[in-house]
Amino acid sequence: MRALGRWLLWSFVGLCVLFGFLRATAIRAWRVPTGDPYLEASIAPSLRGGDLILLWRFTPPAYGALVLCPEPKHPERAVIGRMIGEERNTVRIEGTHVFVNERQLSSEGACADDHFKVTPPQGGPEVEQRCSLEVANGIIHPRGEAEATADLAKAELELKPGEVALVSDNRRYPYDSRDYGPVDRSTCKETVFFRLVGREGFFDVSRRFQYVR
């Protein structure tokens, strides 16, 4: 019995040390702000304001990953976007569609929940959007469709060495490199990879303990 007790004690100590190491070097918890309507709309359907998420910072973010970066023009503000394109690539964004070196990112059909609702950043009632799946560098991620695109800004970015483009998962209400331009890749140090709980808390079963692509 004593041997079992010692084993349990040292196992607990080992887990605490491992958790402390990961927290200090590799993982950070962060709650998505709820007072930034442009950020909140742009990250749907992947995330929502109030979500408690985990950020991976031990290795640099990969092409296609959902990343947290400081906004280039206002570094005190955080932005979240899909890292699309690498240095010397040309990234073109037109409504729902994204092209890298004139090749469009491919689609993989509809999401499991093929519709979602989002509040427009300018205010007003919630708007229903369609959700589809898109592939970037082998990463399959959700994308909020934009059925009417005539009023959406277009952009063509020539990425210089050390630059990447960020593209919002919500193509109807984006806040991304169309607004603030290319991003210095060295400032994007954290990848969004897990949602602990949603803004409604632990008992919102549909949005807790989820891997985020």
> Do 131 and 149 fall within a single domain?
yes
pLDDT of 21 > 50? The answer is no
Instruction: Quote the tokens at residue 111.
Output: 């999401």
Q: Is the separation of the CB atoms in 49 and 40 below 8 Å?
A: yes
Residues 164 and 183 in one domain: yes
Res 9 pLDDT > 80: no
Range of the domain at 4: 1-27
Computed over every residue of the chain, the mean pLDDT equals: 89
CATH of the domain at 77: 2.10.109.10
Instruction: Assess whether pLDDT exceeds 70 at residue 19.
Output: no
Q: Phi and psi (nearest 5°) for 40? A: -60, -45
Cβ atoms of 32 and 49 closer than 8 Å: yes
The per-residue pLDDT for 15 is: 41
**Which sign does the torsion angle of CA 92, 97, 100, 104 carry?**
negative
Assign 154 a pLDDT band (cuts: 50, 70, 90).
confident
What is the rounded CA–CA span in Å between residue 58 and residue 71? 21
15 and 39 share one domain = no
Same structural domain for residues 104 and 193? yes
The three-state secondary structure class of 185 is helix
Confidence of residue 3 (pLDDT cuts 50, 70, 90): low
Residues 13 and 105 in one domain: no
Asked whether residue 90 falls in the same domain as residue 182, the answer is yes
Rounded distance, CA 92 to CA 165, Å?
Answer: 10
168 and 131 co-located in one domain: yes
Domain match, 104 and 195 both: yes
| 94 and 7 co-located in one domain | no
Query: Average pLDDT for residues 162-180, to the nearest whole number?
Result: 95
